[in-house]
Structure 1
Amino acid sequence: MKKTAILLTSICATALLYISCSSDNNEKTASTDLSSIGASIAADTSTEMDINTSILISTSTSTTGKTAETAPGICATITVTKPNGEDYPKVFLADFGTTGCEDANKLTRKGQLKITLSGPVATPGSKMTIERINYSINNIKLEGTIEYTNTTTVAAVPQWTRKITNGKLTDLQGAVYTNSGIYSTKQTAGVDTPLVLSDNIYEITDGTHTVTSSNGVTLTLTVKESLIKKYSCLFISKGQLKVQGGILNGVIDYGNNDCDALYTYTHENGTSFNLSM
């Protein structure tokens, strides 16, 4: 089957997505459905970005309760508070401003992230809750709450669950996609260097999330082959998701562990689409 390249600008410009299906059997593939794939990947990617940002902020920012200038690589002003006067819970408010600022990854963020820790992220049972407040990345509006809970049972293999509730992505032309789901994650590298984040590698072993477009089409994406996420990479670099919903039934493949924005959707009839975030 021939491949059709589809370009998404910045994280994802789902409003600009178009389809020119060139499969040999001329099977029709709705652009709205493939746009939902793009929106789902963008929502998932932004969640990973916000978790990375929150971990960096919570591990590098002063705990004096005063406003810090920034955390390394983060262009926000950060305020730390302790609502009960004790070490935890601890609340970090990262304010990127109403006009936005460009971070170390050349992404422009606006609005605020409110990060609440019930305890240290590395401690079993602790939960990090991330709330998005008038928040966007490259003018793609993101809403919802992320709960990142430490479920570690073996110290050498840290594990977390990542739950998204009331997720919503509004693209550059106003199309809205709601999303929710839960993933299980374990750390497979960097455990012995807890003060260094750059060498961390995570493996998303199982989980499912859904994305629903404004026209009512719902896609369900389930981990088929463990997803590899390097802290040093913006995007997932390896693994597969099973996609079902609407007229779609196929697999997303993230490639061969390269730090790039490329992935492929292959429909059940063998038709493949090269995609990029």
Structure 2
Amino acid sequence: MKTSNLFGKIASVALMGTFAFVISCKDEDKLTLADTQDITEEAITDSYYQDMDDLAGVAVSAPTDDQYSKNGRVETTYSVTVQDDRFDCDGVVVSVTPDANSTLEAPKGVLIVNFGTTGCADGRGNTRTGKVIFTYNGRRFQPGSTVVTTVENYTINGVKLEGVRTLTNVSGSTAEAPKFNAKLVGGKATFIADGTVAERESNITWQWIREANPLNDYLLIDQASTASGTTRGGRTYSVSLSKALKYKRFCGIAVEGIKKYLIDGSKEITIDYGDGTCDKSVVITVNGVTRNINVN
């Protein structure tokens, strides 16, 4: 049986191509094509880095107890089987080298996923190449544990990702409601088809609320979470939350919360996801001008 990932892709990409219909008399009071492209690009890039976090959680949980607990033995690299369709391609190699001082209670070491050069397509149609390197210290649901993710020629869907991603299980986290902070430093996304580059840094804290029925699980993105960078078109942007984002399973986009974009330091765009109803309806406000739309 395959291990399921947290929520599939955290659904920040669902805003793709949906905002071109907001019209106003003034350019600064409407969502332009450039704005739509920038918001979509930011959402896609964010989801690709979040996918790396989920890959980390699944992969680092895969080694056997014996592979985790070196207990002072000579350093050895082990082959690891990961029950997840993102790793399920011919030629994909997953290996772990535990630290000499690693124990079952406090595992530490390096796990490498090599997707190869031909491309590994998962069940959702995402294709990955290159290496993702996870340096782990502690168990996934143990407060204070960390996974530092780096890459070598790693691409997903024709976008090459770079940067250092540090995932930390934060203080106060529990197995029932694990809470993680993900910091991205030096993030760079190169769109291979045309060579354009987007830069990004982010500091995002999210909590997985686990219910008695897993179908009712949900994610909360902390209101203090932020991101910033430069788009492929050279515009600067920053992202903040006026209200924490809530994601339910199978809803595609957030069902609650308010996300705010500031483009080139002057144009403010907010997206209000509503009151918790899974209805694909959002309220877009551009410099004070508001429209209600349905997300496709």
TM-score, structure 1 as length reference:
0.77
Q: Which runs of 5+ in 1 are unaligned?
A: 1-10
Q: Distance in 1 between matches of 2:178 and 2:18?
A: 41
Q: Distance in 2 between matches of 1:123 and 1:170?
A: 34
Q: Distance in 1 between matches of 2:251 and 2:135?
A: 25
Q: How many residues align?
A: 258
1:174 CA displacement: 2.4
1:143 aligned to 2:145?
no
Q: Which amino acid aligns with 1:188?
A: I
1:44 CA displacement: 1.4
1:124 CA displacement: 1.0
- CA deviations on 1:32-87 (whole Å, 9 max, x unpaired) are 44322222111211122111121111113436242134432232421011133523
Q: Distance in 2 between matches of 1:259 and 1:94?
A: 37
Q: Which runs of 5+ in 2 are unaligned?
A: 1-12, 68-76
Match 1:42 to one of 30, 41, 44: 44
Q: Tell me: CA distance 1:259–1:185, structure 2 relative to 1, closer, same or farther (3 Å).
A: farther
Q: Which amino acid aligns with 1:176?
A: V
Q: Which amino acid aligns with 2:185?
A: T
Note if contact 2:86-2:120 (Cα within 8 Å) is conserved in structure 1. no
- CA deviations on 1:110-146 (whole Å, 9 max, x unpaired) are 1111111111121111111111221111112222121
Q: Distance in 2 between matches of 1:185 and 1:19?
A: 26
Q: Which amino acid aligns with 1:53?
A: L
Q: Distance in 1 between matches of 2:142 and 2:271?
A: 33
Q: Which has the higher strand share?
A: 1
Q: Structure 2 matches for 1:179-198, cutoff 5 A?
A: 179-189=200-210
Q: Tell me: CA distance 1:20–1:72, structure 2 relative to 1, closer, same or farther (3 Å).
A: closer
Question: What is residue 109 of structure 2 aligned with on the other side?
Answer: 90
Match 1:81 to one of 91, 97, 112: 97
Q: Distance in 1 between matches of 2:249 and 2:134?
A: 19
Q: Distance in 2 between matches of 1:45 and 1:235?
A: 12
Question: What is residue 199 of structure 2 aligned with on the other side?
Answer: 178
Q: Distance in 2 between matches of 1:233 and 1:55?
A: 22
Question: What is residue 74 of structure 2 aligned with on the other side?
Answer: none
Question: What is residue 24 of structure 2 aligned with on the other side?
Answer: 24
Q: Bigger shift: 163-172 or 93-102?
A: 163-172
RMSD of equivalent CA atoms:
3.4
1:101 CA displacement: 0.7
Give SS of 1:104's match.
Answer: coil
TM-score, structure 2 as length reference:
0.73
Question: What is residue 260 of structure 2 aligned with on the other side?
Answer: 242
Aligned residues with identical type, % of pairs: 21
Q: Distance in 2 between matches of 1:79 and 1:188?
A: 31
Q: Tell me: CA distance 1:96–1:238, structure 2 relative to 1, closer, same or farther (3 Å).
A: farther
